[in-house]
Structure 1
Amino acid sequence: MRKSTKTNDGITAIYVRRSVSDKDKGNNSLSISAQKEECIRFVGECNYRIYCDDGKSGKDVMHRPAFMQMMSDAREGLISRIIVKKYDRFSRNMREYLNITDELDRYGVTVYSLSEPFNTETKEGRMMRNNLLNFAEFERETIAARVADAFQTKARETGFYQGGKVQFGYTPERRTINGKTGSVLVPSENAEAVRVAYELYQNPDMSLLKIIDYFRENNINVTRATPRTKTGISNMDRSHLSRILENPLYVRADKEVYAYFSSKGYEMLDDIEAYDGIHGLFVHAGGEQGYFVKVAYHEGLVPADTWLRVQDKKSHNQKFNNNGVALNSWLVGMMKCGNCGYAMHINHSTNKQGRTYRYFYDYGRKTMTGCSHDYATELKPDQVEDIVYMEMCKRIEQLVIAKHESTKPDPDSEAVRTEIIKVDEEIGKLMGRLADADDVLFSYIQDRVSKLHEQKSALERKLQTKTRKRKAIDTKPLEEPLKIWDSLTVQEKHNIAVMMIDVVYVSDENGVEVVFSI
């Protein structure tokens, strides 16, 4: 075999791996010692370092410590090329292999196999690799398009809350409407703060800061909304308040609100008759079609005329549009401090050596009361993203299992349904006797019907809980993207995450807690 004489600033990495199955098969040609010997003979006298994963599977790289260390050294510029006995030592997953070699290309690191002619040191090898990458890119874009279409279809067809960031003043509650089950927003303990904010801000001399001062002076509850209550942000600042004051979620949408959005060129999914002055709105980005407006199942908090006056005032005060997209993490908008419940962001910075790193920023430290705990310092953004991704995979696996179990008869649910029917029948009989009832009987019937309605509501909540646990969710649009996670862009990962996750709580004390919306 020809010996290599190539020399670069970086060292030559020799990667060897043997799985348990290779040992069981007794394949001596793939033994660790045989791989090392052949690779060392090939590299000759040049400076090299051996990275060895013995007894590790080739199905992925995350569970191979030596491989991960080799990739870290490549990022640091310590490696010029990687030598392997066979490409299946490097990775058995073609998609993963393409992703890794594409990353190594950016670091100026080539991969060379002693057994196959396809390598990235030659122009032919790079051409073959690039062709495969094109096919992988096409597949990734196709899957991403299917995910986006599924989200858009769901948002267009129903008035359910689609998950993602928990809205201040509301908390989600699972309900069945028109035969479909989903999340409906119900007022939380902070709903009154939303109403007061709109009522104050419509006045010409009222500013955002004055409203915050008013809340503080009058002890209006916009704080101490703990993470477990899921009522939204735990402290109020001007940026959050500004977003609340322009959100159509809160308006009790009537015909004037319909005309407002229609005049802006938005696609109106519902007829004007649906704008009954009671229900709030969801406004979604519709891709090339712009924005579309859907009447929601939840009730708004703010009268339409008040909401419109606030929008008019904000449009005159607006100085510039902020169209920036945060790409520091695919978890943007979903993370909260596990201690104060306030939003956590991931920022990035560059040190003196030119290396870029990411870190957490807790917005709760900059509010009126401030977070009483230190920033999350032990957990790093990369760790949090890896943990959340693994939890997403586990969640999908649970839903797939639940889908199979949901086909079995559920005697408990049927028993609850029977109880609801009996309660309805008793209510019907009592209501039929009202016309002929005297004052005493009328009072008794009224009291009994009230208690029966409470009993029915409790039974319906019980049934909804059972149904939710057995609900067969269509996981196919999510399963495929999770399999090729590393090949997706940050924005594509974000789009998938918001379909699954309500919020991610992060703290050194409690670690990472993922609250799913599905």
Structure 2
Amino acid sequence: MKKPTTNNNGITAIYVRRSVSDKDKGNNSLSISAQREECIKFVGNCEYQVYCDDGKSGKDVQHRPAFMQMMQDARDGLISRIVVKKYDRFSRNMREYLNITDELDRYGVTVYSLSEPFNTETKEGRMMRNNLLNFAEFERETIAARVADAYSTRARETGFYQGGKVYYGFTSERRTINGKTGSVLVPTEQAESIRIAYELYKEPSTSLRDIIEYYKEHDIYTLSTTRVNGEPKENMDRSHVSRILESPLYVRADKEVYAFFVSKGYEILDDIEAYDGIHGVFIHRTSGVTFVKIGYHEGIVDAQTWLAVQDKKSHNKRIPNNGSSNVSWLVGLLKCRHCGYHIQIAYTDNKARTKRWKYLMDYGAYRKAGCVKKFLTTRPEEVEEAVLQAMRDRIEQLTIAKHNAEVPDADHESLRTEIIKIDEEIRKLMEKLADADTVLFDYIQNRINELHEQKSALERKLQTKARKRKAIDTKPLEKPMSVWDKLSIEEKHDLAMAMIDVVYVSDDNGIEVKFSI
């Protein structure tokens, strides 16, 4: 567009927009051609330029290329005024609209609407315009809420794929199931790489980076579906792999997977019989509620492998990043026996940095109540030696247990005992509800809810231990343990995290190792 020669203020811009929802409503008065025709008729013989965004939402301007170009032309002094059919064509976001009009005011550009009969150069006119835009924004939010409700309803009623992002390892096909037609996920050639990722990661010593290196070494199809200029973009980062390893979409969900979701407190929409060890699972989150629906698609990964991966990832998430693991391979695993807070391995170097002193610092001492001491006299080297011996003893126990008949597990029995005690307390509280007044009734209900949460946590731990006891393979642990002195600190740290839940340390009570296997 060249600068106008008829005046110094620029030419008239005509902006027309129609969203997808406008098309669905069949509103012909808001068609692109109708808007353009009315605006051109209004401006008459003056010089104008039409900017058109067809099929674009009014919630923001970043996704409207014609609007962005019009704003740039306004900044360049090419436009004197903007004409629209209605103010909501300009924007349905009140805050954004006011920001834009403030910017246009600085450029000396005015905005005119053909449908709203008031002059925005007056304060009364601006007030009416703002009220109309408030209603337009309310309408947009209402439409968005209706769409979300419709999505939630469809997701609850069927196991169809609801659209949106394309899941790696699947493509979608239209199928009719139980008299309804929708999209069903179908495995692609990428499914094998999904299975490989799960098989690799379930091993205690395997990290996310190991999986990425494996893919690169074996020239396996990239984990990314992103494309740049039509070509696949390699994006094999750890966060992408981690999301794949957490997704229930890939599991061939059976009864144990059902129990896993129940222990998480999710709303389960299907009966346990639907968990047939074949079909995958959709997890939907809406209005603060997480619900689980069996899909019509077949899963890719067997239930035991998927659950083993979830156990490992859950354990890794519990390990806080409270320091660099190059200080000690026990970083993130230590807790105080007295207060339960994490113990950090701190250090001090001499001025020449030729010698380093390491010590244990209790974070519980910084809390309001405070712990018994801030610095422990127990040395980090003592803890490392004790934990290493405990790890070797644990692997020996697991190896022996594999060759002998199943023997009772002390931790398993302890958890079962705690669950029985909680069930008994809940039963006694339920008996008291009938005779309770309002205050006591509320107290009992709150206590029962607390007990149910404790019970769910214990049951999750019990299920995890049972699965690991059944599936544990000590061979991946035996090899690195046999060459322990040759391992790097990071490799030792990864191995310890694969085996240990927590290490309790106390100057008074010594060192206690709680294993996760």
- Using the size of structure 1 for normalisation, the TM-score is 0.45
Q: State the structure with bigger RCO (CA 8 A, min sep 6), 1 or 2.
A: 1
- Using the size of structure 2 for normalisation, the TM-score is 0.45
Q: Which has the larger radius of gyration?
A: 2
